[in-house]
Amino acid sequence: AKCLETSILFLISRVTFVTQRDLPTFCIDAVAISKGICRCSDGSRAIQDRLNALKSHPEEDITKMLDASNVRSETWSDKPLSQTFDLEREYLYQLGSTLGQCAEKLICLTLQDARRMAARSSSVSRPENLHDWAYFIGALTPALDHTEMETKRVGCAFNGYGTETSMALAQALRQEMEKMKTVL
């Protein structure tokens, strides 16, 4: 997940670089990005659901629900399962946070690319713009609709910070796409 995050940051820097130099050869695949948005957001939300389930079912309840012989082998000491659950919570939280950050960064990347395409609209032939914009909007609208990031946020909070930024970015992307639709 950290490698994915670093890759997204690289792509964001490339869009910034291309925008500053007005290079027409760079483009991101909107379908691949929309799949990444959905997968990262869905993964982060699923992890948040699991973390919520771990909070609502303390260790004692789980060990009562499960047969103790299935949970512990004879070689285990009589330590409570709290250490295992704490470790699971910690790793899930780290993974969920990273996936949520990746979803947010993918939205940021997409928003930057939408703004780059809009800025180039005056220097590129109109039919090429329309085709690129239609592809972009057609790929990303279902991702925004599916994830509902504009209203539900990403999923896991990041190291104590809220996920309001993801909502604002998703709303800004939706507005940018609405502007593009008016030209289509």
- Reported as a pLDDT band with limits 50, 70 and 90, residue 25 is low
pLDDT at 65 > cutoff 80: no
Q: What's the pTM?
A: 0.78
Which is more confidently placed, 99 or 59? 99
- Please report, for residues 77, 85, 89, the alpha-carbon distance to residue 62 in angstroms, rounded to integers and kept in the order given: 18, 10, 15
pLDDT at 89 > cutoff 80: yes
Q: Which of 158, 144, 182 is nearest to 100 (CA)?
A: 158
- Please report, for residues 6, 77, 80, 102, the alpha-carbon distance to residue 167 in angstroms, rounded to integers and kept in the order given: 22, 47, 40, 14
- In terms of residues, how long is the chain? 184
Q: What is the DSSP string of 108-177?
A: HHHHHHHHHHHHHTTTS-HHHHHHHHHHHHHHHHHHHHHH-HHHH--SS-BTTB-SHHHHHHHHHHHHHH
63-77, 81-95, 114-128: which is most confident: 81-95
Which is more confidently placed, 127 or 179? 179
pLDDT, tens digit, 9 for 90 and up, residues 36-64: 999 999 999 999 888 888 787 655 555 55
